[in-house]
Amino acid sequence: MRRTYISPEYNQVRVYGTFNMREESNFFSSKMLEIEDNISISTIDVIYYQNNNGEQLDFSIESSTVPISYSPVIDKKNNHTLILDESQTKFQKDKNTKWILIIDLKTILLNYLFATMKKYRSFEGIRNNMTQTNDVSVALKQYIEFNVYDRYKLKNIDMYIQYKDLRNQNVLRYKNNWNQNVVKQENKFTRLQTETAIDGSTIKLMFSQEKPSEDFTFEYFFNLNFEKL
């Protein structure tokens, strides 16, 4: 065979299939992750174990380490804002004050899915060097955003409000506290107007106090319910 002395333009290098976090479907078959039909992000912590590198390789060893806890209570607190409606009149502000609650749905859902997949060890056996980012946790977050996040939509929000009398307590007016202990049927609040972003990443809840802000502040909490598309 005669040499051509033509250098190849490309080199073929074997890489792990886990380098690609986007699921590719083909005509005959494709991989499918089984996910829950309904998700309620409420007050229940998600506990999981991993080694110091963020990998999940041997549960019998990792279960003896300090567990990692995801708190939906803290996550929801960090990813929402409650502000006064600037369009209201002074009379409205002094009486049945109007509020706007803005929730970062995407961040909360992504964080919850990440903790849940860690709990069920969906990436068990995958080492950091088997991912493009050299970090299995980053790869898992990419996988969730590419393949899982869009398979859910917000079903509804359970809102809870409990009023506190300003006259009997040393609290500030318009100072409303985040408190999971108000989750009781008698505190469920339904008189809400909602406005969801086109991409579903955030939602605004607009509502008015049912007791005048001259005399009352309130504690509040919400649970997020998602359903599979």
Residue 87, CA distances (Å) to 84, 97, 99, 174, 209 in order: 9, 11, 10, 16, 15
pLDDT band at 11 (very low <50, low <70, confident <90, very high): low
Q: Is the pLDDT of residue 1 over 70?
A: no
Distances (CA, A) of 207 to 19, 82, 102, 204: 46, 11, 12, 10
Q: Which of 63, 221, 39 has its CA nearest to residue 114?
A: 39
The length of the chain in residues reads: 229
CA separation, residue 220 to residues 16, 36, 59, 176, 205 (Å): 48, 28, 38, 7, 13
SS3 188: strand
**pLDDT over threshold 90, residue 19:** no
Burial class (CB in 10 A: 0-12, 13-18, 19+), 156: exposed
CB 161 within 8 A of CB 185: no
The candidate with the shortest Cα–Cα distance to 149, out of 182, 180, 189, 109, is: 109
Domain segments of the chain as ranges: 37-228
What is the structure's pLDDT at 26?
Answer: 61
Q: What pLDDT is attached to residue 23?
A: 74
Express each pLDDT in 135-191 by its tens digit.
Answer: 999 999 999 999 999 999 999 999 999 999 987 776 688 899 999 999 999 999 999
What is the structure's pLDDT at 22? 77
Instruction: Provide the mean pLDDT of the chain.
Output: 90
d(C-alpha 182, C-alpha 71), whole Å? 17
User: How large is the average pLDDT for residues 74-100?
Assistant: 95
Conformational region of residue 111, where left means phi above 0, alpha means psi within -120 to 50, and beta covers everything else: alpha
Report yes or no: 220 and 207 within 8 Å, Cβ to Cβ.
Answer: no
Q: For 150, which DSSP code?
A: G
| pLDDT at res. 27 | 54
Check whether 47 has a pLDDT greater than 80.
Answer: yes
Q: Please give the average per-residue pLDDT across 37-47, as a whole number.
A: 97
Angle at 72 between CA 67 and CA 73, to 5 degrees: 110
Q: What is the pLDDT of residues 184-195, one digit of tens each?
A: 999 999 999 999
Q: Which two tokens stand for residue 182?
A: 């108000």
Which stretches of 42-104 are DSSP H helices?
A: 59-62, 72-78, 90-94
Portion of the chain with pLDDT greater than 90, in percent = 76
